[in-house]
Structure 1
Amino acid sequence: MWSIPWRSASSAAKKEGVTSLSEETFQAMMDFSPIFATLVGVPGWDDRLEDISVDGQQSLRARLTDVLARVEESDEDAVARDVIRHQATSIITRIDARLVEHTVSRGLNAPVAGLLRSASQVDFSQRRHLVPHFLDQAGQRLLNTDRRPLRRHVQGGAAYVERFLASPRQEWEGDADLRPAFARYREVLLGLPGRDDEQAGLCWLPDGEENYRKLVRDYTTASYTPAELHQLGLDLIAGLREEYAEIGSRVWGTGDVPEIFRRLRTDLLWANEDDMLVDAVKTVARAEAEAPNWFGRQPLARCEVRFVPEIDRQNAAFAYYEDAALDGSRPGVYFVNPLNATGRSRTVSEVTAFHEAIPGHHFQLSIAAETELSNLRKFAFIDSYIEGWGLYTERLADEMGLYSSDEARLGMLGLDAMRAGRLVVDTGIHALGWSRQQAVDYLSENTVMDHTEISSEVDRYIETPGQALAYMVGRLEIQRVRAEAEEKMGSRFDVKAFHDLVLENGVLPLSTLADLVTDWAGRP
């Protein structure tokens, strides 16, 4: 996410070949996240780390403010202008929220944890000499701020770095002596006072309420207020309890939701780590075989299933997807985290594979990357579209007949409840002033996640404010525009054509996607 030499942010916009505002915006996006550029195989950033100094981020902010001032008069088409506006505003919002000054553990915006997670996945040979400077920048941001991370996150971030320091030298380090810089950063963490769990959210930090409101708009690309999203989550949770009762009656002969939750937490656990991986491989293969009946276009890139690297397991999510490289040098990878496998429910294995791999993120991101669209349209950071599609495919998989049992369908409901619960908990923490324990208690009562998962999830929401809202908001919007198209087109509606339309137009704000579907459905 991220001298000598340090390529300045201002010069990056003037790279040879920048011929459009779309490309200029894309250059700024990659300057904001150079490791992402390497991860997906976009050349030009392999010798870069993000400049997270105050001056560096303000320079990038000024470039994007200039982009916004020119977008209306540009010769870009309407869709491209929508994406340009969103991406420029999004990065400005994240810079203004100063997330690097209080995100140190496992949040998606945590600079050092993100560096360590990515280092073994991409070529670090041209950028490893920049790591000490980057670590010192991260430390300086933490020392010179009026905000503080949670105390528990300070401890977690320090422990993550300590595990790295205690591990054998890794291949990505090469011959560079990087560990003293990591040790310095760890000492900075250990010297921070941290804030209490009772003040977990942005609303307790300077300008926090305004920052959160903008982050909500950024991540959802919708006009919901935090209060509206909170109530939407409560309503969805209530509806899901009825679905639990229906399927639970078939599986166990009981519609009592607390009893169904108890059995899901205790009766259907993994026997060992290897079974988790084997099941994921079989599930992805089954989805791949059925996909041609629901999608006109299949990605060329392969999707592999692997365990999360051991050093990352304590801080990683229980599953995630990494994009394939544009040049075909690396497949898309669905990572499964075996941490505490024997204490986790088997029921969420299938639904997670459908979301992260096929027909979820692997189809979505690979198909976009394989189109002739601009890089901006292929790789825009728009979580409501990306995660909305992933969540949409969890229910689509049921239409496709991919779930192997009612127990697996209960897993589908389990992740639905998690995403509905996120609407309640994320807004509760950051807008309503909930403590960390309030969030833990709510998810314990209304989802089937075990204590380890709930604790990890809540810490993620605290450190990545607003991002967790994107999943359910995006899914509901994709379902809405599909339903409207089906009603308007009647027998002319073709689900393959609908899915191709959604995926072949790249990453879009939800309102832009809705306009495209409305136009498509209205054609004779």
Structure 2
Amino acid sequence: MSVADEMFQAFMDASPMSATMFGLPGWDDRVEDLSVEGEQALRARITDILRRAEASDSDPVTLAVIRHQGQSMITRIDARLIEHTVATGLSAPVNGLLMIASQLDVSQRLDKFARYIGQAGERVRNSDRRPLRRHLEAGKTRLDRFLAAPAQEWEGSYSGEIRSAVAGFREVLASIEDGRGDDQPGLCWLPEGEQNYANLVRNYTTTSYSPAELHQLGLDLIARLRDEYAEIGSRLWGTGDVQEIFRRLRTELLWDNEEEMVANAVEAIARAEAEAPNWFGRMPKVGCQVRAVDEAERETSPIAFYLPAPLDGSRPGTYWLNPLGATERSRTLSEATAFHEAVPGHHYQLSIAAETDMHNIRRFAFIEAYLEGWGLYTERLADEMGLYSSDEQRLGMLGLDAMRAGRLVVDTGLHAFGWTRQQAVDYLRENTVMPEPEITSEIDRYIEVPGQALAYMVGRLEIQRVRAEAEEKLGDRFDVRAFHDLVVGSGAVPLPVLNDLVSAWTAAA
């Protein structure tokens, strides 16, 4: 077995639900081991693989991915985020399980869920790193909703055992009386927090940017975006007043109903698929469908997310859209989100990589700066492709840009510079068009998943940089279709490796 095989095995052992999502056989009866002993055994195993990888004959790109995937798992184990991540996002172990269980075939692992939930409770109970008080309350509310609802189909004959474990986890949350206040939400307030955050920043961005540099980058981007808002706002509404544009985007152009929101996403993706051959030489063999999130999961589901098609093609890639509160949400964000999550965003990126003959460690690598950088890149690419149906939708593109730029400011503010939760809320309220419920949910996400929010804009800027450099060097010989095929056909790679790949391609051309 090669070191690439070993690292991929360890990667899937650490996240067997992901293996099921990808349609990879061999992990359908497993769950992650959340115990301290299990994590430390995994850490030792990964450390040994990394040591031996340096003497292997793996090609440089595969070796770089092996290094990143191994170090990523070590970084997250060392940060011990599991011990204070308890609210309603996908990263909270128990809530994430309850969300994803209805989307996958979990029938072979139902007998292991109670142990998994119990391990999560033990980690929280025995930790010196307390969750925020508001996250404890949010976690309890979410679990109460699950326990009060009728058993779902996925629970099968293990419903009683699973619900007893969920009730036990709720008791753990209720027993914690010393949760952190909103004045100390970041990692910098926790033991080893400064070092853990620095490691997470390196892991998520795959760069050497410091938190201070990322913070300033976000401030600069927010300032530049105001000029773009003013230019489109003047053309559309006859005003360049950014705060007036923000007000109109927050309070006008809302959805009439849920069905309209879903139909708009279907139309946007259809336009993207029709135009894509002019921008990509290679299209995925598998299709992309749009589905509304199930009623039972809408309170805790993200606004939108993508799940790739399994390898056997038993279902298409799926763009999941949460229509909760549609009539209070701006329709201007719809198209940019669809292009990011589906076509030509994550659907093209993940499907094309999975269809290559590369090693699995590259086909299914999880490198956020590349993955989310590509998603954000395609929001601007969609404008080049002529996909936005109106200037209102272009303002939505700017709104999502501002959110990702704002993430650089508030994520570093919270975790490196000791911002209060309210400081972070106030910054997004002043500098983005996000509605209040979305601002608060996003801030809570950044608190519980430190560093992840940095990956989007850092990755987008790097993809744009290497493309611009290639265009400058090649001039009329630059082929945008070949460029995009290279980027998505190489699988997820660290950003320095992407630079090397594009530089080599440019030289060869």
TM-score higher than 0.5 here? yes
Give the C-alpha shift of residue 31 in structure 1: 1.0
Give the C-alpha shift of residue 94 in structure 1: 0.2
The total of aligned residue pairs comes to: 506
Give the C-alpha shift of residue 144 in structure 1: 0.6
Q: Which residue of 1 aligns with 2:114?
A: 132
The reply to whether residue 180 of structure 1 matches residue 164 of structure 2 is yes
Distance between the aligned counterparts of 1:53 and 1:427, measured in 2? 29
Q: Which residue of 1 aligns with 2:53?
A: 71
Give the C-alpha shift of residue 85 in structure 1: 0.4
Question: How is 1:354-433 mapped onto 2 (pairs within 5 angstroms)?
Answer: 354-433=339-418
Match of 1:166 among 131, 145, 148: 148
Give the C-alpha shift of residue 227 in structure 1: 0.3
Give the C-alpha shift of residue 135 in structure 1: 0.9
Secondary structure of the structure 2 residue equivalent to 1:305: strand
Give the C-alpha shift of residue 70 in structure 1: 1.0
Match of 1:513 among 489, 494, 498: 498
Match of 1:223 among 184, 191, 208: 208
After superposition, the C-alpha distances for 1:109-142 in whole angstroms (9 at most, x for unaligned) are 2110110111011111110010111111010001
Distance between the aligned counterparts of 2:310 and 2:286, measured in 1? 9
Secondary structure of the structure 1 residue equivalent to 2:395: helix
Match of 1:98 among 80, 95, 111: 80
**Residues 143, 166 of structure 2: 8 Å contact kept:** yes
Could you tell which deviates more after superposition, 100-109 or 295-304? 100-109
Match of 1:493 among 478, 485, 509: 478
After superposition, the C-alpha distances for 1:402-434 in whole angstroms (9 at most, x for unaligned) are 000000000000000000000000000000001
Question: How is 1:180-219 mapped onto 2 (pairs within 5 angstroms)?
Answer: 180-193=164-177, 194-219=179-204
Q: Which residue of 1 aligns with 2:318?
A: 333
Distance between the aligned counterparts of 2:472 and 2:485, measured in 1? 19
After superposition, the C-alpha distances for 1:126-161 in whole angstroms (9 at most, x for unaligned) are 100101111110100011111011111111111111
**Displaced runs of 4+ in structure 1, greater than 3 A?**
none
Letter in 1 for 2:255: W
Match of 2:137 among 148, 152, 155: 155
Give the C-alpha shift of residue 106 in structure 1: 2.8
Secondary structure of the structure 2 residue equivalent to 1:126: helix
Letter in 2 for 1:338: P
Match of 1:146 among 106, 128, 133: 128
**Residues 163, 311 of structure 1: 8 Å contact kept:** no
After superposition, the C-alpha distances for 1:290-333 in whole angstroms (9 at most, x for unaligned) are 00110000001111101112222222221111111011012111
What root-mean-square deviation, in Å, do the aligned CA atoms of Structure 1 and Structure 2 show?
0.8
Give the C-alpha shift of residue 267 in structure 1: 1.2
Letter in 2 for 1:461: Y
Match of 1:33 among 7, 12, 15: 15
**Residues 89, 300 of structure 2: 8 Å contact kept:** no
Task: Go from structure 1 to structure 2 and tell me whether the alpha carbon gap of 1:213 and 1:108 turns closer, same or farther (over 3 Å shift).
Answer: farther
Q: Which residue of 1 aligns with 2:33?
A: 51
Letter in 2 for 1:187: E
After superposition, the C-alpha distances for 1:145-194 in whole angstroms (9 at most, x for unaligned) are 11011111111111111111111111111111221111111111111122
Give the C-alpha shift of residue 107 in structure 1: 3.7
After superposition, the C-alpha distances for 1:375-422 in whole angstroms (9 at most, x for unaligned) are 110111100000000000000000000000000000000000000000
Letter in 1 for 2:475: G
Distance between the aligned counterparts of 2:372 and 2:389, measured in 1? 24
Give the C-alpha shift of residue 108 in structure 1: 3.9
**Residues 53, 63 of structure 2: 8 Å contact kept:** yes
Secondary structure of the structure 1 residue equivalent to 2:290: strand
Give the C-alpha shift of residue 263 in structure 1: 0.4
Secondary structure of the structure 1 residue equivalent to 2:300: coil
- TM-score, L = length of structure 2: 0.99
Distance between the aligned counterparts of 2:249 and 2:223, measured in 1? 18
Q: Which residue of 2 aligns with 1:279?
A: 264
Distance between the aligned counterparts of 1:84 and 1:155, measured in 2? 39
Letter in 1 for 2:360: N
Distance between the aligned counterparts of 1:157 and 1:302, measured in 2? 36
After superposition, the C-alpha distances for 1:429-482 in whole angstroms (9 at most, x for unaligned) are 000001111100000000000001101100000000000000000000000000
- TM-score, L = length of structure 1: 0.96
Distance between the aligned counterparts of 2:366 and 2:376, measured in 1? 17
Distance between the aligned counterparts of 1:72 and 1:57, measured in 2? 23
Secondary structure of the structure 2 residue equivalent to 1:197: coil
Match of 1:84 among 66, 69, 84: 66
**Residues 108, 463 of structure 1: 8 Å contact kept:** no
Distance between the aligned counterparts of 1:309 and 1:89, measured in 2? 36
Secondary structure of the structure 2 residue equivalent to 1:317: coil
Letter in 2 for 1:115: L
Q: Which structure 1 segments of 5+ residues have no match?
A: 1-18
Secondary structure of the structure 1 residue equivalent to 2:492: coil
